[in-house]
Amino acid sequence: MDFTLEAFMTFKTTIIATCLLAAAPSSMAANGPNAHLSPSLKGLQAKNFVLPDNATLVKRFALGHSGMETQRFQQHFQNAIVFGGEISLITAASGDVVTVIGRRYDHLLSSNSVKLKAEAAKGIVMMKIGGHGRWTTNLFINPSNGLFFYIVENQRADSRWHYWIDAETGEVLNAYDGLTTGSGTGVHGDSKDLSGLTTFNRGNFEMVSANGRLSTYDAGGRSRLPGALATDSDDQWVEPGRTSPGQAAMVDAHFFANVTDSYFLSVLQFNWLSHYSQGMVSTAHVKRNYNNAYWNGYQMAYGDGDGITFINLSGDLDVVGHELSHGLTDATSDLIYQNESGALNEAFSDIMGTNIEFYYGSGNWTIGEDITPNSNGIRNMADPGEDGDPSHYNERYTGTGDNGGVHINSGIINHWYYLLVNGGQNADGQFASGSDVAGIGLDAATQIVYSGFTSLPPNADFCLARAATDAVAGTYSANVLDAWDEVGVTETLCSGSGGGSGGTGGDIAISNVSSRTIKGVKFQISWDTDVASSTEVTFSCCGTYVKNEQVTSHSYNFNGSKGVTYEYYVTSKVYDSAGNVASSATAGPFVHQN
């Protein structure tokens, strides 16, 4: 079975913004009952915004040096977390709300019951991947279809599996590995000043910073983390060798972690220790000839490379900054590492890794160029096509590999950021608009991306990122939107019209609409259509529920309230190959007495 996010979440979304009404394509993020996205509520609209009663504060953090702050609120329904139901309030130094970003769900109906306990859901996953590692299990409700489900996360040294388990049936709805891959002498023979970055303990110097913020380990070619704490007898870390016990990889991992920590603190006002009490933990020499580096939710791990495709992966500042920026994302937006939200996650790390290189004085627009001896890096933000990645939404990857294209499609967002900073047109000539984007420079672009991306809900898509960055852009709004247009994430795309040719779906005939009580407060609405089409039920009280599976016999189950009369409409739609609505029909209103 192919466990993809699209398989579980194929529904529409509505974006409500000051200057546009935008609905994302069908494979993007959630639309649910009375789902409101308010990314560009500004001024009095933002100041007067009222949080729903079911929202609780879950995170707060500073935004740079401006005195602004993000406060993230999570909505709940009964005992469940509303999936994607996070609202971020950005406040000024005065405490006034200046921007609102997120989705609000005012009325929810459940379509199944919670029959499994959390331990039972965990047990289902343990049967598939074994029992060791750190476990967390949380109950959610999907506002698109009213489905209660558990997200079971297992965190190990080299994996971060997430399983979505139907809370009634125990069916596995989705599964993916969220592991985010990607004086001494460094990997390139350059001397690095480790003053204050090591401490003397019991006759040896250790790679533990004097301020306690950093520690670095040697895995010795094994996968067990964190490994052995890096030590040296005279504080001259010059032992040669690509593999353990060579010290160059540990010197760079430790030194570049300090550069990243300094950037987070001084530029973003993000204090790592406020979110990770263990500090920045790094391990070099992970596995043998391992061509990767990753953040596992707790610490960094760097392979030595095979010496051909890659050398020690800790030897490139933008790689170290990239991976540690996944930790920043985990602590703020927690973007799901799959499909478009995963591509946003990857792109944010590329963006921050690049920013950190510029901060250190060695900036460029390629990723991994210092650790790929036979190529110019693994990604190029100025020209994603150089490495086979798309620079325009029309060429996005839509398959299930690469967790739904998290690395591949990051090229679209990377190129957006490059254009926002530097200006110009799409590097792929077939998509160049003929009109230059006016660049705004690195400093302004950094603050827009940091404020916008850290305020996104976990299941954000590209259209929501467009709206969120516009919301925080201030006087640079036109520049931000022009850059999005240049990479194909346009107002037309995000309004749902998509620019398609209309398809050949023809008219849809709806017949045999009926409702029936199944048991207790559970009821079913059903109807037939003459052509295969989607299933949508819209309640006057409670919003729209959608299934995008194309069928001719339609039904939807709901858990309502006893004695309540529900007025509803039914809609079916046919989509063309581009995902645009080719034809649709709506019938109603109808009434169900529960």
Cα angle, residue 241 at apex, residues 236 and 246 outer, rounded to 5°? 45
> Which backbone phi and psi does 546 adopt, to 5 degrees?
-130, 140
Percent helix, strand and coil across the chain, each rounded to 5? 25, 30, 40
Where does 411-452 show beta strands of DSSP type E?
none
Residue 218 and residue 251 in contact, taking contact as beta carbons nearer than 8 Å? no
Name every residue whose Cβ is closer than 8 Å to that of residue 203 and which is 6 or more positions away in sequence.
Answer: 233
Residue 594 and residue 517 in contact, taking contact as beta carbons nearer than 8 Å? yes
Rounded CA-CA distance 323/313 in Å is 11
> In this structure, what is the dihedral angle of CA atoms 316, 317, 319, 325, given to the nearest 10 degrees?
170
- Please confirm, yes or no, whether 392 is among the known catalytic residues: no
Rounded CA-CA distance 18/471 in Å is 9
Q: Token match 């160029």: residue?
A: 369
Q: What is the 3-state secondary structure (H, E, C) of 477-512?
A: HHHHHHHHHHCCCCHHHHCCCCCCCCCCCCCCCEEE
Residue of 407, 415, 554, 592 marked catalytic? 407
Rounded CA-CA distance 431/486 in Å is 7
- Which residues in 103-133 are b (16+ Cβ under 10 Å) and which e? bbbbebbbbbebebebeebbebbbeebeeee
Rounded CA-CA distance 406/229 in Å is 33
- Collapsing DSSP to helix, strand or coil, 307 comes out as coil
Rounded CA-CA distance 427/17 in Å is 29
Evaluate the CA torsion angle 308, 313, 316, 321 in order and state its sign.
positive
Evaluate the CA torsion angle 240, 245, 250, 251 in order and state its sign.
negative
Residue of 323, 340, 357, 486 marked catalytic? 323
- Please confirm, yes or no, whether 323 is among the known catalytic residues: yes
How many residues belong to the chain?
Answer: 594
- Which residues in 424-453 are b (16+ Cβ under 10 Å) and which e? bebbbeebeeeeebebbebebbbbbbbbbb
Residue 218 and residue 304 in contact, taking contact as beta carbons nearer than 8 Å? no
Residues with a catalytic annotation lie at: 323, 407
